[in-house]
Amino acid sequence: MTWLTAEAPLIDWQQGLVTFPEQIQIASEEEADSNPLADLPPQYHKFAKVFGEEEFKVLPPHREYDIAIDLVPDAKLTPGPIYGMTDAESKALKQHINEELATGKIRPSTSSAGAPVMFVKKADGSLRLVVDYRKLNDVTHKNVYPLPRQDDLMAKLRHAKMFTKLDLRWAAFQHFMNNLFRDLIDVTVVIYLDDILIFSEDPKDHPTHVREVLSRLMKNQLFCKLSKCHFHVTTVDYLGIVISPAGFSMDQKKIKAVTSWPTPKTVKQVQAFLGFVNYLRRFIPNFSLVARPLHNLTRKETPWSWGNQEEEAFQELKSLVTKSPVLIHSKPKLPYYLETDASGVAMGAILSQQGPDNRLHPIAYMSKLFSGPEANYDTHDKELLAIIKALEEWRIFLEATDKANPGKQLGKPDALSRRLDYIDAPQEPEIMLPAEVFANVSEEEMDIIAEICTKLRDDPSLEPIIQFLTENADDAPPSIRKAYRDYDWEEDLLWYQGKLVVPDSEPLKEKLLREFHNSPLAGHPGQQRTLN
């Protein structure tokens, strides 16, 4: 009977049931390390308070960065629903509340409003307490302080040889962190909310850089969770990307998550999959083109149909994730190689540099679907647009690099050297693409476009379409949305399946026919080509 004493089950003799008390462990980001010296490198023992338990239980001091929840005018807060809990969850919740009250981190509330709480299981089996604040967020002024772009953060690490990653127990304001480490950011530190990455080009300098960061954290009573920190490593997982002196690669956990993803059965499941792999798109060539059948499924007007095309796209994305290469760090002193291409529905680009093996290695991939009228551009216009988008995407790498050599200086003539209006003059340093690069538009064409804008709203047959697109598209019944789904309103012009809609005006139609038929550049086309 020893096991009965140890397990203490509840026995219902009438129903013949044996129930074992559920043991539950609550966990949260606020857990402290009971013995911070155990895994902390000896050279940082003087900063043990940053990882300790006693200091963590004390309420932090008030700062000018204290979080305030500013509600929108006339906001109405209502009590939220109460989610059901097991006895073990209720016991754990009460324990958590009592501990937080004792440390002063929370206080009793008399508000009539409230938010439901729940538990989410963590990887180690313990539970994280979660509060559902969605109703509160709906009536709260949003924090508009910008977060750093992740690709910009990664670009700062090109020369790093050694890393230390610190994980704050609480997600601090980005504004606060930027001010606290203002002189170190992009020099020896990059920060994204509660993730601090210390990097050094010379490993000998790394301990000094780490001590400076720990010193500021201790002085400002900011604490880290030691089990999530990594010291003096040459490869580190930061923001879901594995960083090393060789470059960037996907986290193996994310690769496994994608490859084991079950086939979606609903639109929401497709959206969840696309949202996950979209984070990895910089590693996947032609991502937009491959994922297009899945994106089409998420459109409101598209009925659910999972066929061969969708299955092939799903499996191809999973396969590409496993084949993703290491993206190398850019080297500003070496030449960049920019390759672009465009198909009927998407554009793509690769930015590369030559490695020690004399082979090109990718720095990043770009892929975008053509939208609206772009899908109806001629092939050469699509290819030019791909170049422009690639230059915009990678401006931080390519700005101020060499431009094309005109005329005889170029071994193979290209579109730039053939332009009649080419001026062999130095480019303005602050302008990446001068106006002369773009195709010229005649004054007559501009006048026609202006006239179309003016007369669109005078055409009674177009009035309901324009009203639908500019005023109440979301509120319209499904039948109306379906009828007008091929129309777009862009730059005060109406488009149908990517083509410009001309209002019912005979003089305007005649102007258009003369402009596009009689122009010397048109080549005197026939009836069908003129209309197209």
pLDDT score recorded for residue 312: 93
pLDDT score recorded for residue 284: 86
Fold match flag (150-250 vs 254-322): yes
Closest by CA position to 22, among listed 8, 12, 4: 8
Q: Which residues of 248-286 are buried (b: 16+ CB within 10 A; e: fewer)?
A: bbbeeebbeebeebeebeeeeebeebbeebeebbbbbbb
Of 3.40.1160.10, 3.30.530.20, 3.40.50.1240, 3.30.70.270, the CATH number of 150-250 is: 3.30.70.270
Q: What is the mean pLDDT of residues 98-120?
A: 84
pLDDT score recorded for residue 282: 83
273 phi/psi in degrees, rounded to 5: -65, -45
Closest by CA position to 313, among listed 343, 362, 273: 273
Question: ∠ CA(102), CA(105), CA(111), 5° rounding?
Answer: 100
Reported as a pLDDT band with limits 50, 70 and 90, residue 200 is very high
Of 2.130.10.10, 3.40.50.620, 3.30.70.270, 3.40.1160.10, the CATH number of 254-322 is: 3.30.70.270
Instruction: Choose between 412 and 252: higher pLDDT.
Output: 252
**CATH superfamily membership of 42-138:** HIV Type 1 Reverse Transcriptase, subunit A, domain 1 (3.10.10.10)
Q: Which CATH number describes the domain made up of 337-437?
A: 3.10.20.370
Residue 131 burial (CB count, 10 A): 12
End-to-end CA, the chain: 90
pLDDT, tens digit, for every residue of 249-264? Answer: 888 888 888 889 999 9
Share the mean pLDDT of the chain: 78
13 phi/psi in degrees, rounded to 5: -70, -30
Angle between helices 267-278 and 252-259 (to 10 degrees): 160
pLDDT score recorded for residue 405: 55
- Pick the most confident of 9-23, 61-75, 291-305, 422-436: 291-305
Q: Which amino acid would we find at residue 341?
A: D
User: Domain ranges in the chain?
Assistant: 42-138, 150-250, 254-322, 337-437, 443-531
Q: Which residues of 144-168 are buried (b: 16+ CB within 10 A; e: fewer)?
A: eeeebebeebbbbbeebebbbbbeb
pLDDT, tens digit, for every residue of 54-89? Answer: 666 667 677 776 777 888 888 888 887 888 888 888
Reported as a pLDDT band with limits 50, 70 and 90, residue 432 is low
Residue 437: is its pLDDT beyond 70? no
User: Could you tell me if 194 and 172 are in contact, meaning their C-beta atoms sit under 8 angstroms apart?
Assistant: yes
Question: In the beta sheet, which residues pair with residue 338?
Answer: 351
Residue 27: is its pLDDT beyond 50? no
Q: What is the value of pTM for the model shown?
A: 0.61
- Give residues with Cβ within 8 angstroms of 325, minimum separation 6: 249, 283, 361, 362
Closest by CA position to 122, among listed 29, 187, 230, 210: 29
Angle between helices 252-259 and 308-322 (to 10 degrees): 160
- Give residues with Cβ within 8 angstroms of 209, minimum separation 6: 164, 184, 188, 189, 198, 199, 200
Instruction: Choose between 66 and 341: higher pLDDT.
Output: 341
Reported as a pLDDT band with limits 50, 70 and 90, residue 531 is low
